[in-house]
């Protein structure tokens, strides 16, 4: 499953407390400017993936997986703090929440993202996952910066009604209700976070509102990818990296 080596980089699962601490330190740097490690109560229940530069051993990317046996366990997820997810309790199949994805701010090589998604694909295949989900974040809390991106999400990528998350967080931006504009496709994709763009290319769908998370200084949308619905060509590309 993992480790996965491609070019200059290797992805592996954390095996020691020191690995998790390194991931928490990178998250602190990426999310909060490095003042303190980023930790929460979900870390102990998660599998942590580290992407390192082989030659130097530098940690350049990390993320975590919370495996769930099915929709009945959705309330255990990080996302359930912010979204009312009772519709997904009916999902019958293994699922995994992918979270805390970040890259080192001094390392922007596109191959890092490719290796990360290869590791994700290998994990999902090995675990027999049928739904990959998580919170996809926009930097900052000013929704006006992302109106075209949100309009694009409304027009093309809203969750099926049977899975649609409902509002739970105290402060949200209800873009599906509020926006009436036709999206500028170029501007929408320029403002779309890279992680969310990848989810969407896999056929992913999103909540109809964004949560305003002042603690993390982000706007985030619940995002789901039904593995069976990923376009065959995209699956082939992902598995080519994972293999």
Helix (H, G, I), strand (E, B) or coil at 82: coil
Please tell me the distance from the alpha carbon of residue 163 to that of residue 90, in angstroms, as a whole number.
9
Which residue is listed with tokens 């649609």? Answer: 164
Residue 179 confidence (pLDDT): 96
pTM of the full structure: 0.94
Residue 243 confidence (pLDDT): 67
Q: Which helix (H) or strand (E) holds 101?
A: strand 95-103
What token pair was written down for 111?
Answer: 């191959």
Residue 236 confidence (pLDDT): 87
Which residue is listed with tokens 């993202």? Answer: 113
Please tell me the distance from the alpha carbon of residue 221 to that of residue 172, in angstroms, as a whole number.
10
Do residues 208 and 174 lie in contact, with contact meaning Cβ atoms separated by under 8 Å? yes
Q: Counting Cβ atoms within 10 Å, is residue 197 exposed (0-12), middle (13-18) or buried (19+)?
A: middle
Please tell me the distance from the alpha carbon of residue 112 to that of residue 70, in angstroms, as a whole number.
30
Residue 4 confidence (pLDDT): 83
Domain annotation for the chain: domains and CATH numbers: 4-242 (3.40.630.30)
Strand partners of residue 139: 218
Which residues are CB-neighbours of 54 under 8 A, at least 6 positions away?
Answer: 5, 8, 9, 10
Do residues 227 and 148 lie in contact, with contact meaning Cβ atoms separated by under 8 Å? no
Please tell me the distance from the alpha carbon of residue 222 to that of residue 190, in angstroms, as a whole number.
20
User: Backbone phi, then psi, for 102, in 5-degree steps?
Assistant: -155, 155
Angle between helices 110-127 and 194-201 (to 10 degrees): 50
**Average pLDDT of each block of 10 consecutive residues along the chain (243 residues)?**
82 97 97 90 98 96 98 98 98 97 92 91 94 96 97 98 98 97 94 93 96 95 96 85 71
Residue 65 confidence (pLDDT): 98
Please tell me the distance from the alpha carbon of residue 242 to that of residue 114, in angstroms, as a whole number.
9
């Amino acid at each position: 499953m993992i480790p996965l080596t491609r070019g200059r980089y290797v992805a592996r699962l954390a095996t020691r407390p020191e690995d998790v601490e390194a991931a928490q330190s990178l998250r602190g740097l990426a999310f909060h400017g490095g003042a303190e490690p980023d930790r929460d109560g979900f870390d102990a229940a998660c599998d942590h993936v580290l992407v390192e530069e082989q030659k130097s051993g530098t940690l350049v990317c990390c993320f975590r997986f919370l495996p769930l046996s099915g929709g009945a366990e959705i309330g255990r997820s990080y996302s359930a703090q912010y979204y009312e997810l009772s519709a997904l309790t009916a999902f019958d199949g293994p699922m995994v929440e992918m979270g805390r994805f970040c890259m080192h701010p001094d390392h922007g090589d596109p191959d890092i993202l490719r290796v990360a998604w290869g590791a994700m694909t290998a994990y999902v295949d090995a675990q027999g996952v049928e739904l990959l989900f998580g919170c996809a974040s926009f930097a900052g809390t000013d929704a006006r910066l992302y109106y075209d991106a949100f309009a694009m999400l409304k027009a093309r990528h809203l969750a099926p009604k049977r899975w649609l998350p409902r509002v739970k967080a105290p402060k949200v931006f209800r873009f599906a209700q509020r926006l009436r504009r036709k999206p500028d496709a170029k501007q929408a994709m320029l403002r779309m976070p890279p992680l969310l763009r990848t989810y969407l290319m896999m056929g992913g769908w999103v909540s109809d509102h964004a949560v305003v998370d002042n603690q993390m200084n982000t706007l985030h949308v619940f995002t789901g990818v039904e593995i069976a619905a990923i376009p065959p060509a995209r699956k082939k590309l992902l598995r080519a990296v994972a293999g």
